[in-house]
Amino acid sequence: MAEPQSHWQSEGFKKRLRRRNAQERRFRRLGIAAVLLAGAALAMLLVSVLSNGWRAAFRTEIALDVDFDPETLGIESPSMDGPTEIPASADFGAVLRNSLLQTIPGVEGRAAVRELVALLSRGASADLAARLRAEPALLGRRERLWVPASDEVDLLVNARRSDPASTPSTRLSEQQIGWTDALAAQARVARRFNSHFFTGGDSREPELAGIGGALVGTLLTLLMAKAMNRSVANVLFGAFGQVQAGAGQARADDGRTVRATTADDVAVQLSFARKVIIVPGYGMAVAQAQHDVRQLADLLEEKGVDVKYAIHPVAGRMPGHMNVLLAEANVPYTQLFEMDEINPEFPQTDVALVIGANDVTNPAARSDQSSPIYGMPILDVDKAASIVVMKRSMNPGFAGIDNELYLDPKTTMLFGDAKESVLKLIGAVKAM
């Protein structure tokens, strides 16, 4: 008599096992196909980006014989005892204009000179200033330098590379095209490697735009998210942190209190200051006050005040947020300073005007190891002689902690909507 078959020896079990093995093989093949398809799509994307974007690594530049004349620049005389300080008011635009007029003689009239200068990028003066600050020995010398051309000239030169007779649709006038051709005939126009593309930040001028600011901002965002033990998605879109103190708390355990001020008092401080640093933040973005901030800065400059903007890479809700807003308000690029550049200047600053920036100015990031933002790079606002913070209330910032800066004896608080407060300051400054 035959022994009964066990379950796993039955024909039905073997059939189910074969079906399962077939499904597993099919799933494995589909998985491999999906990985290969994703890899192919990524490769195609990279090829597309590189094939279409490699041109950004080059830009059109114009060679000029630049005379770093101290008188033209507005520098009294080179220092004999040490390095000469290059003031922010130095007129590099005049130096470039003179160089162009010497290269293309016979240009007369203000309108024609403006057209000639328009061949250069608006950032050419800033490039020249950076070059002189890096090499002070150039002061008083004449040097041939390559300076960036405008995006319209770049478009023309690119078109001429493929078809020398072509004239693309640009905003250049016939006279400007003729000048560009004359410079090219003198071998003064060339496509050169654009190192600024890898080190520069956002810009309204295509020839000055770069990915450096985005890369640094992204890296800082990742480092900050890791230090806070949060995901990047939570930092960008979530409500980070729990409020550690009451929203209206205005007193520290050691007896220090928050001091409120008025627009009139702040206007006096700003008008009689020698140097003011504006620190924009999320509060300015919410109130859309960037245009009014620019107007306030212009008024102060008319009174002889040196005004600069301190930009934290992650101020606001995303890297580069403040750069975009201030560019929209046409704030001169030369007045915007990144954190590493501006921090050494706070000890020599009369007034630091903080407009809605919170966590990026909190000294606890340097001193309080128990703070969730400890180790985060911040703006050294607390080192200024006087600090004015414009804020709606004493509510904490995105990290959910109180800001020690508000209890600093040098700090006064101007409460209210950022736009309304700035408009009050404008009125008070004008009335002085």
The length of the chain in residues reads 432
65 in catalytic set: no
| Coil vs helix vs strand at 390 | strand
Phi, psi dihedral angles at 66 (to 5 degrees) = -90, 125
CB under 8 Å to 40, separation ≥6 — which residues? none
The backbone torsions φ and ψ at residue 309, rounded to the nearest 5 degrees and listed phi first, read -115, 130
Pure H helices in 61-148: 70-73, 92-103, 110-117, 124-134
- CA dihedral over 322, 324, 328, 331, signed as positive or negative: positive
CA distances from 61 to 17, 174, 431 (A): 71, 20, 46
**Residue (of 61, 190, 199, 202) closest to 124 by Cα position:** 61
Residue 10 CB neighbours (<10 A): 12
> H/E element holding 42?
helix 11-53
Active-site option among 359, 382, 402, 408? 359
The single-letter DSSP state of residue 4 is: P
Q: Is 128 helix (H, G, I), strand (E, B) or coil?
A: helix
Q: Which of 346, 339, 418 shows the shortest CA–CA distance to 381?
A: 346
Alpha carbon 361 to chain centroid distance? 17
Nearest to 148 by CA among 181, 172, 176, 119: 119
DSSP secondary structure letters along 231-280: -HHHHHHS--S---S-TT--B-TTS-B--B--HHHHHHHHHT-SEEEEEE
Catalytic positions: 359
